[in-house]
Amino acid sequence: MLRRLGLLAGLLLLPTAVLAYADLLPDSLDMLGFDLNESPDLPHVARQIAIGAPLKIVAFGSSSTEGIGASSPANAYPARLQINLRKQLHGMDVAVINRGIGGEHVDDMLARLDRDVIAAEPQLVIWQTGSNDPLRGVSIEHFREATVSAIRRIREAGIDVVLMEPQWCPKLESTPGASRFRDAVRGIGEELDVPVIRRADLMHGWVREGKLTTKQLFASDGLHMADRGYALLAEAAARSILQDAGPVRSPEAVAE
């Protein structure tokens, strides 16, 4: 019993150890709300939710993350995601930091990975990527190699990763080879067991289901989403995060 209590104390300080030492603990750890027989895809997020600790997320990417096309920064998807997660987690302290810079491709983002992502010490990074690479002539082989390498670096820093694929829009659809980058993001997700927010499928679905028209989905440039599209993207991202965090019990409601 003393050995188990000591191990539990260590796990509260070392979140990555929850999975590494799962076989040494009871099948059900009610104190944390984990079912250790089911390993979540986002273990660091799951731990924060289970113990009611602050959750920090870095939204990393290009213009779709920065919020180009939105009427204000408050209507970009990271800001809306923060609101959605706080509501669904009953006012838990959730911070979503926007680290999107318009026009960047994979090498631009890798140049600031340490400064803008790893140094922030989040539990999760949502990496939106693959949109500008075909527009700027990046080879699919280089994109894939650089993305896989970066994901491994992020994970080695003790941070969970979710990928967000390129958007559906007429400009990208007319760019030769653009769909290969969307497929590459999906393939990397499968290979490395990283959740992927399938933004292109989501956007097609919103129009097909009548949630908004194509005109309402896009900003005037026809490339970026407008406010209503970003709002729906934030809702989808929140659902994805909570699902991939696994079957953990959320903390009791607290005053905002």
CA distance 137 to 157: 30
Question: Residue 175: which pLDDT band, with cuts at 50, 70 and 90?
Answer: confident
For position 81, what pLDDT does the model report? Answer: 98
HSE-up (13 A, CA, CB side) for residue 44: 20
Residues 106-149 pLDDT 10s: 999 999 999 999 999 999 999 999 999 998 899 999 999 999 99
User: Is residue 42 predicted with pLDDT exceeding 90?
Assistant: yes
Mean pLDDT of the 242-250 span:
77
User: Is residue 162 predicted with pLDDT exceeding 70?
Assistant: yes
Q: What is the mean pLDDT of the chain?
A: 85
For position 173, what pLDDT does the model report? Answer: 77
247 and 38 Cβ atoms separated by less than 8 Å? yes
For position 142, what pLDDT does the model report? Answer: 97
CA distance 114 to 32: 31
Please state, in angstroms and as integers, the Cα–Cα distance from residue 150 to each residue in 47, 113, 164, 203, 221, following that order.
23, 8, 14, 27, 31
- Pull the structure tokens for residue 250: 């959320």
User: Is residue 20 predicted with pLDDT exceeding 70?
Assistant: no
- Phi first, then psi: give them for residue 237, nearest 5 degrees: -65, -40
User: Is residue 23 predicted with pLDDT exceeding 70?
Assistant: no
Residue whose structure tokens are 């497929």: 183
pTM higher than the cut 0.75: yes
Can you point out the beta strands (E) in the chain?
A: 28-29, 34-35, 55-61, 94-100, 124-128, 160-164, 196-197
Domain boundaries, the chain: 1-31, 40-244
Pairing of β 124-128 and β 34-35: unpaired
Mean pLDDT of the 148-165 span:
97
- Pull the structure tokens for residue 252: 């009791």
For position 172, what pLDDT does the model report? Answer: 75
Residues 179-230 pLDDT 10s: 999 999 999 999 999 999 999 999 999 999 999 999 999 998 888 999 999 9
In 3D space, the residue among 49, 50, 19 whose CA is nearest the CA of residue 36 turns out to be 19
For position 185, what pLDDT does the model report? Answer: 97
Residue 211 neighbours by CB under 8 Å, 6+ apart: 232
Q: What's the CATH architecture for 40-244?
A: 3-Layer(aba) Sandwich (3.40)
Question: Residue 9: which pLDDT band, with cuts at 50, 70 and 90?
Answer: very low
SS (H, E, C) 80-109: HHHHHHHHHCCCCCEEEEEEECCCCCHHHH
For position 38, what pLDDT does the model report? Answer: 59
User: Is residue 13 predicted with pLDDT exceeding 50?
Assistant: no
